[in-house]
Amino acid sequence: MKFTKLTLAAICALIAAAAMADKKASETSPSEDLSVYRDYFAKRFPGVPLNEFGNGVYSIDRVSRDSWEAIEEFPPYEPMIEAGEAFWNQKFANGKSLGSCFDGNPAQRTNYPHWNAERKMVMTLPLAINECLIANGETALNYKKGKIADVLAYMSYESRGQKINVEVPDDPDALAAYSAGKSFYFARRGQLNFSCAQCHMESAGMYVRTDILSPAVGHASGWPVYRSKWGELGTLHRRFSGCNKQVRAKPFAAQSEQYRNLEYFLTHMSNGIEYNGPSARK
């Protein structure tokens, strides 16, 4: 069989991705992983600028993009941004507000997720929001949808244009958390025995029924997302949970250690791409 240059490049990229998965998570550094990951998608989808991958499947499919651009002219998430701004400015019973925990600046996306060396854990923005509420005597929010998605929409909107730059320090605990997230990403799970990588690396750009599988690079950039399927905004961990259910695996709790570590790995793999949330998806 004679392969075209594009097919041959895709095969080489698949081999590289397989090598990344087959090694123990601790055997390669985050910077080495990022290089392999970037090279894989550059070869798989030649001509697509790195930042465009932040638009998911709309970066690789013209027909889908046309529909998406029409939706984005009148974004369905605009009322949620306004609701999130109101929640940001709302005074707590003690007279403070959410802004008091973030130096009054809602444009925080570039600061999360990050490794908290003192607590030896990955810190995410939704977790920081709820910890702020609890510390000020307020009720914590549901991590998947509702008010948490609204305030994240506002903070993400204010953060648009900031570049993802998740650093994994040379710290054994931080590297262990990153490696756990990486292992989760490549591990098969559920009755269907699928991994995240099988859908969004090996099968990126291919069809599942009528849907095109989006490339994994850039997946962390557009959250929270308004999905037509949901009819509302949802968080990244809501999507993690949904993916686990789709392969018939028991999902973990939103903001569990497993999902926070997965977010840490996945966001690091999107370094250099601009945050562009909130966004709309099918």
Active site residues: 243
What type of residue is 18? A
Strand, coil or helix: 120: coil
Angstrom distances, CA of residue 21 to CA of 16, 28, 179, 243, 257 = 9, 10, 11, 19, 21
270, two tokens: 């999107």
- Quote the DSSP letter at residue 273: S
Within a 10 A sphere around the Cβ of 73, how many other Cβ atoms? 6
179, two tokens: 């490696």
Tell the residue number behind the tokens 């600061």, with chain if given: 111
| CA 260 – CA 264 distance, rounded (Å) | 6
Can you state the angle between helices 78-89 and 147-158, rounded to 10 degrees?
A: 90
What type of residue is 273? I
Can you state the angle between helices 30-44 and 172-186, rounded to 10 degrees?
A: 30
Computed on alpha carbons and rounded to an integer, the radius of gyration of the chain in Å comes to 19
The torsion defined by the Cα of 185, 189, 193 and 194, in degrees rounded to 10, comes to: -30
Concatenating the DSSP letter of every residue in 137-189 gives TPPPPPSSSTHHHHHHHHHHHHTTTPBP-----S-HHHHHHHHHHHHHHH--B
